[in-house]
Amino acid sequence: MPVSRHLIALSAAVCLAAGLAAAPATAEPRPRTLAELAEKHHKYFGSATDNPEFTDAAYLKLLGSEFGQTTPGNAMKWETTEPRRGVFDFTAAEEVMAFAEDHHQKVRGHTLVWHNQLPAWLTERGWTAGELRAVLKNHIQTEVRHFKGRVIHWDVVNEAFNEDGTYRETLFYKTLGPGYIADALRWAHEIDPHAKLYLNDYNVDGVNAKSDAYYKLIRQLKADGVPVEGFGLQGHLALQYGFPAGVQENIQRFADLGVDVAITELDIRMRLPATPEKLATQAAWYADYVKACLAVRKCVGVTIWDYTDKYSWIPGVFPEEGAALPYDENLQPKPAYHAIRKVLGG
């Protein structure tokens, strides 16, 4: 007996209704993170962090989800890693490393040789050149060996020059002469030839006496076969001093020397209180700095010096200044965050 056309139509309607009811609702796509947006440009976007923050679950959730790279702010510095001569303690650094590895983040090592945050046993006595060379070599090689294969970059020597381009008269410079920089790079490379080795400093954003000194030094080090492979522009800026001129030009000239360039500690502070106008200017500066990096192939990535005003170092060092980062003290994104996203294509 032939089936009624009405029954066929009714059956089709029932099936269609059932299918529609069973189909899941289309979810809104998850916004891409700063890390994912930067990866489209073959770069990383990261944040520094520090151990006191590791009790803050909300902070850690954003740190682990939004950023593709991290730098231990203090945990790898000499006073922490070798508090007594020959006695090494990597507990704090390992806490940061474990978090980074759990969240598939790259890690920059910071820092092997710096004139600040040194242990008292190192600074409160005199050293012969031979003694200090041995101490310095042992410190560098022990730390690099401990993290071998887990750190993509090392800030080997940090802040080696004064503003006028003369060598900073640190313990290492006064005792060993300027050759300590080449030695430090060679010693680190000997242990981990795959980590990229950087010199790192502040107020070298544009072309000036200090960045000229680094340009000449890196050019000479490379001519001498010393394994210097990167230059770090810290990027600690302040609205009251104006945006540095020639950032992209400066990045490009170091890239043309054959080294990578990284923006390593970016923050942009202001005199408090913050106002909508100041926050808008800050957002524009963040955008311009990130644009400068995107424009140069060998600029490999940007690290902000922690991501939230809640944990910024600025108020403790610069009284009545702050609000320097893309997230506020309540972990809410500021205009700077949205400006960075826009530049990255979000």
CA-CA distance, 308 to 327, in Å (whole number)? 4
What does residue 281 show for φ and ψ, rounded to 5 degrees? -65, -45
What b-and-e string marks burial along 71-107, b requiring 16 or more CB atoms within 10 Å of the CB?
bbbbbbbbbbbbeeeeeeebebbbebbebbeeeebbb
CA-CA distance, 117 to 123, in Å (whole number)? 10
Where are the extended beta strands (E) located within 171-281? 196-201, 230-233, 236-238, 260-271
Residue among 201, 203, 110 nearest 155 (CA): 110
Q: Which tokens belong to 198?
A: 């950087």
Choice among 53, 66, 159, 229 that is catalytic: 159
Q: Which tokens belong to 273?
A: 């209180």
Per the annotation, the verdict on 28 as an active-site residue is: no
The residue type at 141: Q
Q: How far is CA 339 from CA 80, 267, 326, 327, 333, in A?
A: 36, 14, 9, 12, 10
Point out which residues pair with 72 in neighbouring strands: 49
Residue among 237, 238, 236, 219 nearest 228 (CA): 219
Q: How far is CA 175 from CA 73, 135, 137, 152, 236, in A?
A: 27, 12, 14, 30, 29
Residue 165 region by backbone torsions, left for phi larger than 0, else alpha for psi between -120 and 50, else beta: left
Residue among 40, 170, 196, 161 nearest 117 (CA): 170
Q: Which tokens belong to 26?
A: 């289309």
Choice among 169, 265, 277, 320 that is catalytic: 265
Per the annotation, the verdict on 159 as an active-site residue is: yes
Among all residues, which ones are annotated catalytic?
A: 159, 265
